[in-house]
Chains A and B, each alone.
Chain A
Amino acid sequence: MEKKFQFVEIDEQASEHIAAPHYSYWKSVFRTFFKSKLAIAMLILATIIFSIAMIQPLFSNYDPLNSPNILDFSLRFNPPNSQNWFGTDNVGNSLFDAVWAGTRTSILISFISTAINLTLGIAVGAFWGYSKKFDKVMLEIYNVVANVPFLLVVTMMLYVIGYGFWKLIFALTITGWFGIAYFIRTQVMIIRDREYNLVSRCLGTPTSRMITRNILPYLTSVIVTLLSREIPVIISTESVLSFLGIGLTAATPSLGRMISQYTSFINAYPYLFWIPVSILASVSISFYIVGQTFADASDPKTHM
């Protein structure tokens, strides 16, 4: 009878032990991301488009100012075939070469501009949200900038400084970061007064580390959302401008200009119009969906 029960030691520490596996933020982000089949498909599409656009033009030597086959009438308006996968255009150029050269321009311009806009926007926005004095000044400037349409600023800038690859990037970024900075400022203000930031202040944490450790980690998902929105916006802005004949010089291959040139053949040779348009759409949509899914995945609320 007395053997049935035994005294055991109480282990106070045992109740403190956490049985759950270790949480890792980035691992959880990727796990959540790869749960979405659509996102995986779009990531593959975006990677393929990106790789071809970066590599193929290096070998094709496509030059929009140079049409070597212009005298060979048999090479004009060839529909897509085994030789020219996307067919040829009105001057005998391979549409395949032209489209990828144009895509390369679009991607480069949008990536570089987005990188500049986001870096400036986040850096200025974080400081803007933190400093009350800076806020007063910046709000005045922002009210002016925000009330001028973005496309108008870009067009006016280009009119003043002239056309070209880097000039277009300059025009797209001169005020392009402002909207992002304002958005980040508002986000920072929302997070800034949360209690754990007061704690950090009471521990003497300098502002710079408050921004990098207390504020920005909470904004990962917001920043990725901005990124996934900014890239397609710049791509479409670039093509609209090129479509209108503004921004890039004739020496730079451009999807927008191509589409505008081929619009006149939309009935007779529809592939000339539709192929560049669908590549343009695929670039924007795939980057957007990948970005959006990644943004959702980087919100820890989705990790449970």
Chain B
Amino acid sequence: MEREVILSVRDLEVSFPKGKGRFIAVRDANFDIYKGETFALVGESGSGKTTIGRSIIRINPTSKGKIIFEGKVINEKLSAEEDRQVIKNIQMIFQDPATSLNERATIDYIISEGLVNFKMFKSQEERKAKVVKSLAEVGLLQEHVTRYPHEFSGGQRQRIGIARAMIMEPKLIIADEPISALDVSIRAQVLNLMKTLQEEKGLTYLFIAHDLSVVRFISDRIAVIHLGRIVELANTADLFLHPLHPYTRSLLSAVPMPDPISEKAKELMVYTENLHDYSVHQPSFVEIAPGHFVWANEPELEQYRELLK
């Protein structure tokens, strides 16, 4: 069955001015996200995950490559109408619930902000009803509409952020480490909530995380990013069964195992780029098995093919 691609990223490069030159935060990024799936982007701190998310939502300007949403290139100047469509259809859940809410606005204003911008209601009653409904969807109460953000806990604030994105009825949601700033006890609650909403609304997620243990249970496919470069991309099952790139393997070795004996025997792998010798053969992003991509050169690919056998 041919699945419908909702977002494609092609040869993306994002750079920031640094001193006299530019610092390249993301390079050669290539991936497709299918409609209705959860696509995870995993990498350590500073690897460029947020940067990719923010360039898709068009906060970060891109320096090379294309971002294509529903067949339309969106990282270039769009007409006002196209711009509105993209804003409405791609929403983001931000990394830090402590800084992503306007402290001087009521919950009513915060949740309604997008509705008002897009005039998505006919009367004030309808607007209020939509706000209450979306609060209820994330488990918050009607009485919260007149409250201010500082009166809520971290988990509640993150759910406010989710409600604010959901009310726009977007097609794609970029969730930037939505649970990393939360207490361990409520992480599952927020993840389950996101999962339920995805099923109800047929949403597509780009889920950003910095370790594999979180994404294992919620994502369909995983891309692993290291220092601004996507080094491996595969189905969740394939990636856990046949990790190819040494960086992926080092990340996997860091995933805690539930069995204490094998956890004790486990060898932690440390990854350095010196492992690769790219002086003769240049690496590229190759589909080594159906749907399984890896950043490697010819001799490495030989080796990996052996592993897959």
Contact = CB atoms under 8 A, between A and B. Distances in A.
A205 B113 contact: yes
Given A195-B94, A217-B104, A203 B144 contact: no
Interface string B140-153: 11011011101110
Given A22-B146, A22-B147, A203 B117 contact: yes
A213 B105 CA distance: 8
A13 B141 contact: yes
Interface string B103-115: 1110001000110
Interface stretch (B83-91, B198-206, B284-292, B301-309): B83-91
Q: How large is the interface on A (under 10, 10 to 19, 20 to 34, 35 or more residues)?
A: 20 to 34
Interface in B140-188: 140-141, 143-144, 146-148, 150-152, 156, 161, 164, 168
A23 B105 CA distance: 11
B248 to A, nearest CB: 30
Contact of A203 (B59, B87, B101): B87
A203 B141 contact: no
Contacts of A268: none
A300 interface: yes
Interface in B228-271: none
Given A16-B141, A202-B87, A194 B99 contact: yes
A228 B144 CA distance: 36
Nearest to A200: B113
Nearest to A23: B148
A200 B117 CA distance: 10
Contact of A23 (B59, B102, B147): B147
Nearest to B112: A203
A300 B151 CA distance: 13
B114 A203 contact: yes
A199 B149 CA distance: 15
Interface in A141-169: none
B109 A201 contact: no
B143 A17 contact: yes
Contacts of A206: 117
A216 B116 CA distance: 20
A228 B83 CA distance: 44
Given A204-B114, A213-B105, A218-B104, A199 B94 contact: yes
A200 B161 CA distance: 11
Contacts of B92: 199, 202
B99 A195 contact: yes
22 contacts: A12-B139, A16-B139, A16-B140, A16-B141, A16-B156, A17-B143, A18-B147, A23-B148, A196-B103, A198-B54, A199-B164, A200-B113, A202-B59, A203-B87, A203-B114, A203-B164, A204-B84, A204-B114, A204-B117, A205-B113, A206-B117, A218-B103
Interface of A: 12-13, 16-18, 20, 22-23, 25, 194-196, 198-206, 213-214, 217-218, 300
Given A194-B99, A202-B87, 8 more contacts: A18-B151, A195-B96, A195-B99, A199-B92, A200-B113, A201-B59, A204-B84, A300-B103
